[in-house]
């Protein structure tokens, strides 16, 4: 028996004549955690889509040898029958169905008279235990957090008797605590003999859990690095990914913060849109000066996104009260359009669900927040749309064939650049950006940081929400810490450390429980 459970040889894949994968080779040992790393658009997800049968045999060239057998997967079910299960970055769960129903959807546990619900929920509970969850399998997906939903996806994979588990950016939407739990779970699976392939841009996580890592750059496999003692230097991985040294993760910025306040929010309170007695933002006040980047830190569910969305034209929440002042003038923002007209923009964390129209082109998405600039007599000028989109694609180094390309065909990092271009074209005075670099490679992160620095150098105000503390510490002038819908602390960049931020969260937790 070969020590390699998987070998992918000379894989070539083209889209509309453009070569996305160019003779890629990958070998994965039995019972290891193998990482795939590379910049956005390098071809990592495309390679895994080939392995799992999403891109069927015949749509690519090259060989897949799995468990000693040449495989020609034509559907996802073909690969799953062999024990290969993929979990995508965007979770494939139906919010209105229960955990048990989601777990066995398409693979129902049947009895004499239809679905055997007792067996369904019993087996679901057993698989949840395997991933360390004691959640009731009858609970609806919409009633559990993102971290628990990720565990449900893994439990669902176990229900399919997974031997090779593929995870695409599994921690991109998780906080640090949930991320650590997930990585430890993968290590536990490895100890039980399971093989895992993980795609991640979080290099510290790769260094922590992966035994080996294959670097893919511009559609080609560059090298495979061993991580025997789990202490590989992150800079060594970056050099393979981008083909050069990246000495500084955060660009230098000459701080010119104005005394003038760009936006101030006073006594802002928001209730849950469905459970209207539940307060999700509790009497929050904050401000951001012109030329300043202000960060918001906090655990999952702290209320940061709810705060941002409710301020941006009341696009979230019920029973909203409080005051918003932009450019020194009180404003009433009862719609997203009113917010845009007042000079406020919000870059959502959910780029696929709420930020972009995936079926539309880069050009359409880039200009949609400011259509009046590309209209003549209420008729959109497509040539002007394309010209503007091309300018922003060059500025942001967006990898695409043409600005006529559908946004849904781009990698996650390039989709994020289109989303940022959309709001840059809107020319706001205040930009709220929620998880700006989620699922983005280190090179693209640097480019986005440079763009944010350019905006504040022009006198704009930026509010950055991020679950990555190093990002907040590296980019922000001040940091607010939120917990349970309240401001738990405020600190300057000079004062802030990861330890102080976590301490503020823990202290506020104690105060809330005592209250």
Read off the tokens for 327.
């450019």
213 close to 240: Cβ distance less than 8 angstroms: no
Pairing of strands 84-87, 164-168: parallel
Task: Say which range, 88-92, 218-222, 387-391, 453-457, has the weakest mean pLDDT.
Answer: 88-92
Range of 105-109, 232-236, 262-266, 301-305 with top mean pLDDT = 262-266
268 close to 450: Cβ distance less than 8 angstroms: no
Pairing of strands 461-465, 293-297: parallel
- Which residues share a beta bridge with 35? 198, 213
421 close to 396: Cβ distance less than 8 angstroms: yes
Q: How confident is the prediction for the chain on average, in pLDDT?
A: 89
Rounded to an integer, what distance in angstroms lies between the CA atom of residue 425 and that of residue 371? 10
Read off the tokens for 447.
């480019």
* Residue 395, H or E segment: helix 382-396
Rounded to an integer, what distance in angstroms lies between the CA atom of residue 293 and that of residue 300? 21
- Which residues share a beta bridge with 321? 269
348 close to 431: Cβ distance less than 8 angstroms: no
pLDDT (0 to 100) of residue 513: 44
In this predicted structure, the answer to whether residue 493 has a pLDDT above a threshold of 80 is yes
269 close to 322: Cβ distance less than 8 angstroms: yes
Rounded to an integer, what distance in angstroms lies between the CA atom of residue 448 and that of residue 444? 6
pTM of the model: 0.66
Task: Please identify which residue in the block is written with the tokens 């956005």.
Answer: 40
pLDDT (0 to 100) of residue 245: 59
> Which whole number is the average pLDDT over 76-97?
89
329 close to 416: Cβ distance less than 8 angstroms: no
Strands in 200-289 per DSSP E: 212-217, 220-226, 261-271, 279-289
In whole angstroms, how far apart are CA 457 and each of 33, 254, 261, 399, 432?
43, 8, 15, 26, 16
CA 275 to chain centroid, in Å, comes to 27
Q: What is the DSSP string of 93-132?
A: --TTSBHHHHHTTTS--EETTEE-HHHHHHHHHHHHHHTT
The pLDDT tens digits of the residues spanning 203-243 come to 888 899 999 999 998 889 999 999 887 878 778 888 887 77
- Which residues share a beta bridge with 4? 29
Q: Which SS3 state, helix, strand or coil, does residue 509 take?
A: helix
pLDDT (0 to 100) of residue 412: 77
447 close to 396: Cβ distance less than 8 angstroms: yes
Read off the tokens for 504.
């503020």
In this predicted structure, the answer to whether residue 335 has a pLDDT above a threshold of 90 is yes
pLDDT (0 to 100) of residue 281: 95
Per-residue pLDDT band at 352 (split at 50, 70, 90)? confident
Per-residue pLDDT band at 150 (split at 50, 70, 90)? confident
* Residue 414, H or E segment: helix 412-425
In this predicted structure, the answer to whether residue 438 has a pLDDT above a threshold of 80 is no
Number of Cα atoms under 13 Å in the Cβ half of residue 90 = 10
In whole angstroms, how far apart are CA 413 and each of 17, 85, 169, 436, 445?
22, 24, 12, 10, 9
Question: Which residue, among 291, 245, 264, has the nearest Cα to 443 in the 3D structure?
Answer: 245
Rounded to an integer, what distance in angstroms lies between the CA atom of residue 434 and that of residue 436? 5
Q: Which domains does the chain have, with CATH numbers?
A: 4-242 (3.40.50.300), 248-343+430-437+463-515 (3.40.50.300), 348-427 (no CATH)
Longest dimension (CA), the chain: 74
In whole angstroms, how far apart are CA 23 and each of 37, 211, 367?
17, 24, 37
Per-residue pLDDT band at 246 (split at 50, 70, 90)? low
In this predicted structure, the answer to whether residue 2 has a pLDDT above a threshold of 70 is yes
Number of Cα atoms under 13 Å in the Cβ half of residue 415 = 23
327 close to 343: Cβ distance less than 8 angstroms: yes
| 3-state helix, strand and coil shares in percent for the chain, rounded to the nearest 5 | 35, 30, 35
In whole angstroms, how far apart are CA 467 and each of 15, 146, 263?
34, 13, 22
Q: Which SS3 state, helix, strand or coil, does residue 212 take?
A: strand
Rounded to an integer, what distance in angstroms lies between the CA atom of residue 514 and that of residue 329? 39
Q: Where are the alpha helices (DSSP H) in 41-175?
A: 44-51, 76-81, 99-103, 117-130, 146-159
Higher-confidence residue: 332 or 240?
332
Q: What is the DSSP string of 437-454?
A: TTT--HHHHHHHHHHHHH
Higher-confidence residue: 111 or 463?
463
Rounded to an integer, what distance in angstroms lies between the CA atom of residue 249 and that of residue 292? 19
pLDDT (0 to 100) of residue 512: 46
Question: Which residue, among 148, 195, 203, has the nearest Cα to 175 in the 3D structure?
Answer: 148
> Which whole number is the average pLDDT over 282-292?
97
> Which whole number is the average pLDDT over 43-54?
93
> Which whole number is the average pLDDT over 159-187?
86
Read off the tokens for 262.
């760009």
> Which whole number is the average pLDDT over 473-497?
93
């Amino acid at each position: 028996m070969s020590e390699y459970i998987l070998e992918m040889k000379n894989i070539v894949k083209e889209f509309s004549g453009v070569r996305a994968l160019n003779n890629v080779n990958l070998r994965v040992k039995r019972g290891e955690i193998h990482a795939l790393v590379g910049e956005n658009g390098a071809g990592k997800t495309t390679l895994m889509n080939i392995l799992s049968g999403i891109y069927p045999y015949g749509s690519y060239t090259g060989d897949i040898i799995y468990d000693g057998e040449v495989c020609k997967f034509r559907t996802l079910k073909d690969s799953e029958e062999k024990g290969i299960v993929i979990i995508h970055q965007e979770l494939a769960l139906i919010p209105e169905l229960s955990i048990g129903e989601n777990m066995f959807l398409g693979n129902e546990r049947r009895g004499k008279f239809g679905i055997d619900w007792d067996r369904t929920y019993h087996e679901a509970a057993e698989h949840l235990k395997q991933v360390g969850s004691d959640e009731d399998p009858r609970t609806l997906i919409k009633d559990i957090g993102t971290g628990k939903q990720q565990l449900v996806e893994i439990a669902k994979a176990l229900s399919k008797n997974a031997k090779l588990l593929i995870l695409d950016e599994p921690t991109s939407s998780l906080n640090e605590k949930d991320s650590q739990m997930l990585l430890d779970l993968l290590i536990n699976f490895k100890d039980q003999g399971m093989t895992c392939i993980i795609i991640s841009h979080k290099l510290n996580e790769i260094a922590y859990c992966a035994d080996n890592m294959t670097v893919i750059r511009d559609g080609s496999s560059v090298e495979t690095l061993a991580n025997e003692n789990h202490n590989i230097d992150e800079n060594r991985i970056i050099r393979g990914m981008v083909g050069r040294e990246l000495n500084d993760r955060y660009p230098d910025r000459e701080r010119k913060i104005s005394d003038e306040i760009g936006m101030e929010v006073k006594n802002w309170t928001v209730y849950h849109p469905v459970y209207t007695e539940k307060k999700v933002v509790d009497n929050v006040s904050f401000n951001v000066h012109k030329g300043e980047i202000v960060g918001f830190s906090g655990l999952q569910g702290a209320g940061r996104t709810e705060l941002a969305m409710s301020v941006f034209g009341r696009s979230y929440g019920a029973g909203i009260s409080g005051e918003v002042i932009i450019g020194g003038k009180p404003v009433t923002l009862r719609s997203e359009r009113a917010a845009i007209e007042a000079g406020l923009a919000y870059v959502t964390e959910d780029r696929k669900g709420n930020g972009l129209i995936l079926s539309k082109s880069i050009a359409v998405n880039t200009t949609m927040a400011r259509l009046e600039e590309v209209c003549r007599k209420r008729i959109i000028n497509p040539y002007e749309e394309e010209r503007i989109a091309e300018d922003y694609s060059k500025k942001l180094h967006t990898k695409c064939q043409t600005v006529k390309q559908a946004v849904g065909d781009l990698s996650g990092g390039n989709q994020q650049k289109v989303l940022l271009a959309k709001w840059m074209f809107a020319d706001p005075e205040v930009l709220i950006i929620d998880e700006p670099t989620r699922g983005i490679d280190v090179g693209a992160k640097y480019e986005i940081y440079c763009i944010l620095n350019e905006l504040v150098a022009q006198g704009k105000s930026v509010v950055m929400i991020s679950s990555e503390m190093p990002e907040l510490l590296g980019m922000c002038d001040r940091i607010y810490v939120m917990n349970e819908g309240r401001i738990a602390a405020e600190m300057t960049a000079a004062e802030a450390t990861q330890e102080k931020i976590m301490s503020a969260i823990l202290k506020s937790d104690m105060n809330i429980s005592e209250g």
